[in-house]
Amino acid sequence: MTGPGSAKSGKQKTVIVKAVVKEYLDTILADVFPEISDEPEETLLEASKAPEPNQAPPIDTRQASSDLQESYLEEAPLPTADAIDKVSIAPTLSNSAVEVPTIEEKKQSKVEVIEATQAKALKEVSDTISALESVEPEAEVELQYPQAPPWAQTGFDILLFNVCGLKLAVSMESLGRIIKVEHDTSKIIGKPDWFIGSYHESEQHLYVVDTAKFIMPEKGFDLAELGFDYIIQLQRSDWTLACKEVYKTIRISPDQVKWRSQKGKRQWLAGTVIEHMCALIHVDSLIALLQEQAS
């Protein structure tokens, strides 16, 4: 299929290919010209001013480097390689001093190395292009329930639990563990009033949240005083919700929930389970809120 999307995709592929080639050639150039790329230019200039005895007179280094560049550019017509040569090779070589036999030998060997690496790079680029072309563009999936999270597009299980007489629901998909509280929590100073403390379980320190105080502060409940029998771990995070009673799990379909947007004041609320008239918790948002407010 052609269109604006495919043109954009083509541009992206070109950018990726260029980036691959540039990165690859940078690596090669660093390997081939370690003394040039690592040493400061001043050092090379000083070396050129003090030739050793019994050596042939120095050649015009600018001409030599220019020859090298030209030969390289002729044999390496890749646009990206061209750009890289102009940027990184030319200024460095133009100031360096080498003797004629040495540079010719090096030139020969380097050209051979470059030819080999170019061929390898071209093969890799062509493989990358083939791979990119073989990848089908992702089909746009139209969600049947746009306001519902992805995990709730089909039937899903929820756990109903009770906090100070209020029934709440949480998706089983978002649950870690349900832990029966068998020992005290350790209080941690300097935390918000909804932070009951830390509960040690299976070599993990879990943070216990006073669900009533966090979710419905207007009701004035205090779970730390009233007591709680279970903590419900949110995903695999350290956060757990304290509750008095765990009812049961039920399977519901997305149309049994009145979904709400997450832009409102109660970002932890995913929606209302109509049949049970209870709030369905949006676990990801709740974890984010807890992290934000606890820090």
Partner 1 sequence: MSTYEAKGVVDDPVLQWVTFRLDNETYGINVMQVQEVLRYSEIAPVPGAPPYVLGIINLRGNVVTVIDTRLRFSLSQTETSDQTRIVIIETGNQVVGILVDAVAEVVYLRQSEIETTPNVGNEETAKFIQGVCHKNEELLILVDLEKMMSDEEWADLNDF
Q: Which chain residues interact with partner 1 by CB under 8 A?
A: 165-168, 215-219, 258, 260-261, 264-266, 269, 272, 274-275, 277-279
Going through 115-256 in order, the beta strands assigned E by DSSP cover 156-163, 166-171, 175-180, 195-201, 204-209, 230-234, 239-243, 245-252
CB of 24 or CB of 213, closer to partner 1: 213
Q: Letter for the amino acid at 184?
A: D
CB of 15 or CB of 288, closer to partner 1: 288
Q: How far is the CB of 260 from partner 1 (least distance, A)?
A: 5
Q: How far is the CB of 180 from partner 1 (least distance, A)?
A: 24
* Owner of token pair 């997450």: 262
Q: How far is the CB of 261 from partner 1 (least distance, A)?
A: 7
CB of 110 or CB of 260, closer to partner 1: 260
CB of 205 or CB of 258, closer to partner 1: 258
CA dist., res. 175 & res. 177, Å (int): 6
Give the residue among 221, 268, 251, 241 at the shortest CA–CA distance from 179: 241
Q: How far is the CB of 267 from partner 1 (least distance, A)?
A: 10
Give the residue among 285, 177, 166, 163 at the shortest CA–CA distance from 229: 163
Q: Distances from the Cα of 291 to the Cαs of 16, 252, 284, in angstroms?
A: 37, 29, 11
Q: How far is the CB of 218 from partner 1 (least distance, A)?
A: 7
Residues in the chain, how many? 295
DSSP β-bridge partners for residue 156: 252
CB of 50 or CB of 277, closer to partner 1: 277
